[in-house]
Structure 1
């Protein structure tokens, strides 16, 4: 008689099991948010869990496997496919594939699990749910304002009270202006710097300064390579962050602060200011209060496809 080697019962790192009460709460939230989106005129869309890697906007690193941030496999036709990273990249693929038959602009919402090949940690999973709404075919700031106003209503529909959530808004062109002034033209260097700035609320100015420079060693011993910006530009970014990081400021006060910084942000900064001002006017017209949506230029977001308004 031989001993049977039984596998150890364990979940993969970054994944979790969920039971009845969590699933019931999730279904309630999705139903309520979907109702809000449909009331605003957005239609539902479901896309496959898998997309071709090039459609996800990922690049193949210098290895035989495109594992940079996504969970991927090679299909039987020698093409790489990956579990979707978010709902936005699949939307871009769907819109490009069906553009002739879609209404203009195309307004859709989607929900479901997404997957990321990243280091898991507290509150950071490799599989989690997103509920997403996007407008395709309009670059007007008012379209962003509509999404923000709808987001406020969606948060309230989940059961949150007005004092439990705030949407913070910025524009990536503010930092484009700083990089232009500092002579930074390399796209990867800019993106690394933006990802560093996006960690401002978690790491503070000291951590961001290290990531804008040579890099940072975290508490676990992992080293993150920095953007290697010139010292003068790091100082300019620090000064800008210190000037605008006021959580209590109204939207108009933040706009005034940015305007006072003026020439240091260049033409890109001027464009950002105009777009934020248009969003503010539209939000005011829709009755969205100052406590529900705030302007916070320390918000950046780390993905490359963000080019204008971020929140």
Structure 2
């Protein structure tokens, strides 16, 4: 007979939560609201399994040589690696690739469900959580991106979030790509440094402009001062390179306010005076104005011009559809730290 002292203790694994009736009902109501907006825009539901072949996740994995790193993985009796999905995007890509010939184009679909992350839990970071995606595949141009942003704004308000209490921020990665080319970080040989730059700018909300500058340079101590905490190696950019990035990509996120000014340089309609909180609405700045500022400050190369042209198309669609900057805002500082985001 087993010793009573060895009796298993009931305990919940870290990073997971039990959900009660009130939570379940609230989530179901929220999901129904989101679903109604998606379907109003013509998106159709797809239900996909929680388990995929690990190689279907491919380059999205943090470490392809260690499938358990970042995802929950196991091997079946054929020695094939399988993984619990960590998001809904990679399974969607597999589904589209497998069924491409029979799917209508453009293919507009939505999917929802639990996703799983084999990561260290923390405040607001769970190992299992819900996602609700909408995706458009097979359409050229940026009109589909504009539709997504407008649909997101409509979802916010359908959920009861008042206008002025949310904003959808939109950017085009070509803005940053053009600047990186201009400062000498183009080409395959600089892929690693470009990713380091992306990840640094992605931390803007957490670290602020000064913290990002440190990560763009030699690096940053987590404790805030040299020798305190862990050291994160930076991208190794020079001062002028960082200034160029800041002038183009970070100018809208430095806490300065757009103000009308007399005698300003011809290339800018508005300048920053650095005295008050950022507030483009205060001067009725439209997304078209903001795109012009990006065009003036961005890289004068093909990539930079493509970025400005595509953002200008977005701005025109937002404006003609009645979505102002209190709902959707073009912001060149919005960058994700993963290569496949555009």
TM over 0.5: yes
Aligned to 1:206: 210
1:59 offset after TM fit, Å? Answer: 5.0
SS in 2 for 1:163: coil
Distance in 1 between residues matched to 2:279 and 2:140, nearest whole Å: 29
Gaps of 5+ in 2: 258-277, 281-285
Aligned to 1:132: 133
Aligned to 1:103: 104
Distance in 1 between residues matched to 2:64 and 2:135, nearest whole Å: 33
Does residue 298 of structure 1 match 2:317? no
1:294 offset after TM fit, Å? Answer: 0.5
Does residue 33 of structure 1 match 2:41? no
Q: Residues 27 and 60 (structure 1 numbering): CA distance in 2 closer, same or farther, change over 3 Å?
A: closer
1:214-262 C-alpha deviation (Å, 9 max, x unpaired): 4334359454443333443223222334422264223123212112214
Deviates more, 1:172-181 or 1:98-107: 172-181
Does residue 120 of structure 1 match 2:128? no
Aligned to 2:242: 234
Does residue 69 of structure 1 match 2:80? no
1:297 offset after TM fit, Å? Answer: 1.0
TM-score, normalised by the number of residues in structure 1: 0.90
Which residue of 269, 287, 294 maps to 2:322?
A: 287
Q: Residues 222 and 119 (structure 1 numbering): CA distance in 2 closer, same or farther, change over 3 Å?
A: farther
1:66 offset after TM fit, Å? Answer: 2.0
Aligned to 2:304: 269
Aligned to 1:248: 279
Larger radius of gyration: 2
Does residue 189 of structure 1 match 2:193? yes
SS in 2 for 1:162: coil
Q: Residues 66 and 21 (structure 1 numbering): CA distance in 2 closer, same or farther, change over 3 Å?
A: same
Deviates more, 1:297-306 or 1:233-242: 233-242
Distance in 1 between residues matched to 2:173 and 2:252, nearest whole Å: 14
Q: Residues 115 and 231 (structure 1 numbering): CA distance in 2 closer, same or farther, change over 3 Å?
A: farther
Distance in 2 between residues matched to 1:16 and 1:223, nearest whole Å: 33
Gaps of 5+ in 1: none
Q: Residues 40 and 230 (structure 1 numbering): CA distance in 2 closer, same or farther, change over 3 Å?
A: same
Which residue of 293, 296, 302 maps to 1:257?
A: 293
Distance in 1 between residues matched to 2:177 and 2:300, nearest whole Å: 8
Q: How many positions carry a matched residue from both structures? A: 305
Distance in 1 between residues matched to 2:75 and 2:238, nearest whole Å: 41
1:17 offset after TM fit, Å? Answer: 2.0
1:51 offset after TM fit, Å? Answer: 1.7
SS in 1 for 2:170: strand
RMSD over equivalenced CA pairs, Å: 2.2
